[in-house]
Amino acid sequence: MALNSSSASATPMNPLDIASHGPVIPVIVIDRVEDALPLAEALLAGGVKVLEVTLRTAAGLPAIEAIARNLPEAVVGVGTVLNADDARRASEAGARFAVSPGYTSEVGGACKGLNLPLLPGVATSSEIMAALADGFSFLKLFPAEAAGGIPLLKAWASPFGQVSFCPTGGISLATAPNYLALPNVRCVGGSWLTPADAVRAGDWARITQLARETHALRKAV
């Protein structure tokens, strides 16, 4: 049985709270629901508390529900939110925040109606302006490396001084510190914490070690 939306929004967060728990949000793709709990436990053991489980597979929603029910210490959210129905189903499953690869007012309005903090994706100045017009100022640059990466974020700092970012896409443990050094970057998103081969093999110790290395990164102040 899915969690109801009221339980999902019982402890509403300011969107910036998503970035307050650590420098990196893991972008998690789960193929088997039975991997959800040991994977989440491995990340928590390494100090990574905020978990973005994507809707790229059929296991995504049940995985979110399993983590939300059994690991309340985790801040589990939903990624790859493309429409209002995605947001509603994820909220009912227990997601505490949502992440979208792009931005539409439909998704923004749905998440506001659900009291579900949204980290909207942007790749252009026009998308930033649309998100700002709807009240969103903490945004995900996606796909970060392909869209322009650090030079683009530096260029946006002047016209969009009120905006902070979570760059995601093509970032690694080696390059994350370069992004975190930027004043307009709050955190980064990355899939390197949960390599597909480690998840398939149930190598949770490897994932915990990757989480420890990632959690040791520091946001420049």
Asked if 56 and 32 touch (Cβ cutoff 8 Å), the reply is no
Predicted TM-score (pTM) of this structure: 0.92
What's the pLDDT tens digit per position in 45-54? 999 999 999 9
Tally of structural domains, the chain: 1
What's the pLDDT tens digit per position in 128-151? 999 999 999 999 999 999 999 999
Average predicted confidence (pLDDT) for the chain:
93
Question: Does the annotation mark 49 as catalytic?
Answer: no
Higher pLDDT, 149 or 13: 149
Q: What is the percent of the chain where pLDDT is above 90?
A: 88
Q: Which is catalytic among the residues 49, 65, 140, 145?
A: 140
Tokens of 41: 């436990």
pLDDT at residue 15 in the model: 75
Residue 129 lies in a domain: yes
Residue 132 lies in a domain: yes
Residue 154 lies in a domain: yes
- Domain ranges, residue 12: 5-213
Residue 218 lies in a domain: no
What's the pLDDT tens digit per position in 59-94? 999 999 999 999 999 999 999 999 999 999 999 999
Q: What is the percent of the chain where pLDDT is above 70?
A: 93
Specify the amino acid at residue 204. W
Tokens of 75: 């801040």
CATH number at residue 199: 3.20.20.70
Tell whether the model's pLDDT for residue 8 goes beyond 60. no
Tell whether the model's pLDDT for residue 114 goes beyond 70. yes
Residue 47 lies in a domain: yes
Mean pLDDT value of segment 11-35: 87
Tell whether the model's pLDDT for residue 162 goes beyond 80. yes
Q: Which is catalytic among the residues 49, 52, 92, 145?
A: 52
Residue 122 lies in a domain: yes
Residue 220 lies in a domain: no
Question: Does the annotation mark 127 as catalytic?
Answer: no
Q: In the chain, what's the furthest Cα-to-Cα distance?
A: 48
Asked if 71 and 37 touch (Cβ cutoff 8 Å), the reply is yes
Residue 219 lies in a domain: no
Strands 118-119 and 24-28: unpaired
If DSSP codes are grouped into helix, strand and coil, which group holds residue 169? coil
Mean pLDDT value of segment 169-186: 97
